[in-house]
Amino acid sequence: MIEFKVKMTLQEYRKLNFILLYKRPMTIFLTFIGIINIIAFVMYLLGNTSSFLSNPIFNLIFGLAITLTTPLSIFYSTKKSYETNKYIQSETEWTITQEKIKIKGKSFEGEYDWTNIYKIIKVGNCIIIYKDRIIGNFIPINSFNSKEDYQLFLEYAKQNNVTVK
C-alpha cells in the first residue's frame, strides 16, 4: 500500500501545462513558423535583399504573435484556472493498493479500480492518471514518499494492464 499527500503549486501546474502544450506537433510547427518569420525580418533589417518578405512589418508582427501569444495565454490562463479551481489547489490524500486508487480531498472522495484507469503518462516531473481520454489527475512525482513507492505504483499499474507512457 502506498500513501501520500499531493498539493500542486501554481508553478508545478503552469509547468505541466507548458509541457503538455509543447508536446503537440501543431504547437511546435506554429512556433517554428513564427520563428522563421522573425528571422526573415532580422535578415531584412541586415540588408539581405534576397529575402522572401513582401511586407516585413507584417511578418514581424505575425511571427511575434505566433511565438508569444500561445505561451502568454497559457501563462495567464493557468493562473486563472488554478485560482478558481479549488480541486487543483487543495491538498489531496492518496491511497494506492494493488486493487484500488483512493483519493480524498477537503470536499470530495473517490475510489477507482485499476480497471477504470485509461492510462498513465509521465510529463516532466508529474504523472497524469487518466480515468478516460480527457479527464486526469495530476501527481507531482516528488509527492511520493520515496522512489520505491513510485516504482511500486508503476508496478501496480503494469500488473493491472494499465498503459504507462
pLDDT by residue (tens digit) across 93-110? 999 999 999 999 988 899
Can you give the pLDDT at residue 77? 95
The pLDDT-based confidence of 163 (bands split at 50, 70, 90) is very high
Number of H helices and E strands in the chain, helices first, is: 5, 8
The pLDDT-based confidence of 53 (bands split at 50, 70, 90) is low
Q: Strands across the sheet with 163-164, in order?
A: 136-140, 126-130, 119-123, 163-164
Contact yes or no for 104/114 (Cβ under 8 A): no
Q: Over 90: is that where the pLDDT of 52 sits? A: no
CA distance 157 to 148: 14
Q: What is the DSSP letter of 162?
A: -
Q: Between the CA atoms of 45, 47, 49 and 55, what dihedral angle is there, to the nearest 10 degrees?
A: 20
pTM of the model: 0.78
Can you give the pLDDT at residue 135? 87
Q: Name the average pLDDT for the chain.
A: 91
